[in-house]
Structure 1
C-alpha cells in the first residue's frame, strides 16, 4: 500500500488561515523536522549549555503560527515555507547566542550596618522560599538553561520557566531584582 500524496500546500495554507486547527497542525508537521535539524546544526557544543534546540523551534512556531493562521503568508513551494522558518530560526538563534553582558558586582555596603542589613534581607528572603525555589536560584547562579534545570529537578522546562517567572515576580515585589 502506498502512502497518500501530501496535501497541496496552498490547500493546507487556505484551511489553516480559515481556522482549521488540524490543517495548521499538519502544516507544522511538514516543516518541523527540517527546522529541528537546522536548530541542532546551529547549536554547536559550546552553546548547548545556554540554548536548547526545542526551545528555539517552539520560539519559531510562536512567531510563525499567527501569520499562518491569519493567512499573511503565501508560498508557492514547501521549500519557501521551510526557508522562512529557518530564517526566523537563525534570527532567534543569533539573538539568543549573543554573549550576555556580565553585570557588574554590586558595590559592597559602605558601612558594617549596611552589610548586616543586606545579609539580613538575604536570609529573610531565602527563608521564605521553598526548597525547589532555593534550588532554582542556585541553578540560575550556575547559568543553566531551563532544559538543564528541568533535568536536574526531574521536571519539564516549561514548569521551570513558569516557576522562575513567579519567583522573579515575588523577589521584585520584595525589592530584590535579579534581572
Structure 2
C-alpha cells in the first residue's frame, strides 16, 4: 500500500469515527463482502436456524462504527479492517452459540452427546466446505483428534459445548481456574492445529 493510500485510509477512518455517513459507507464496502461470506460459513447448520447471517453482519457493522466513534479500534489498512470485522463476527457467533447451548441446558432440552458425536459437532461449528472429499478428510482428522483426547479434555469440551462457563467447569470437575485456563489453552492450540474454529471455547 502506498503512503498516499495509507493517508487516505487513515483519513477515512477518522471521518468515519466522526460519524460521516459517506466515510462509513466507504468503509463498509471494504469489509462487508468478506464478513457476509464468513458469516454464512461460520454459522453452518448448527446455528443457521437460530441466527441469520445478515443480522450477524449488521451487528458487526454496528460494533465497528461504535468502536471507531469511541476510539476503541485501530485499523491501519483495509486488511486490518477486514481482520477486525471477521474477529468481531467470530466472537459474536461464538457468544450466540454459548448462549443457545446454555438455554438448552437450563431448559432441559440438551441431550448428552455420545463419544462418537463430538467430531461431528466440532465439524459443524467450523462450517462446511464445498468439496465433499475435503469435508470427509477434515472429518477424519477430527475423528483422530477426538480419539486422542483424554477423559478430562473430552469432559471440558463437552461442558463448554453445553454452554458452561470456565468458572462453572472448574467447579464441576474439581480443578482450579488457573489449571482450567491452561487446559483450555492447550485444547485451543490442538483444535486450531486441526483447523477447528475455537472462538466458542
TM-score with structure 1 setting the length? 0.50
Which has the bigger relative contact order, CA under 8 A and spacing at least 6? 2
Specify which structure has the higher proportion of helix.
2
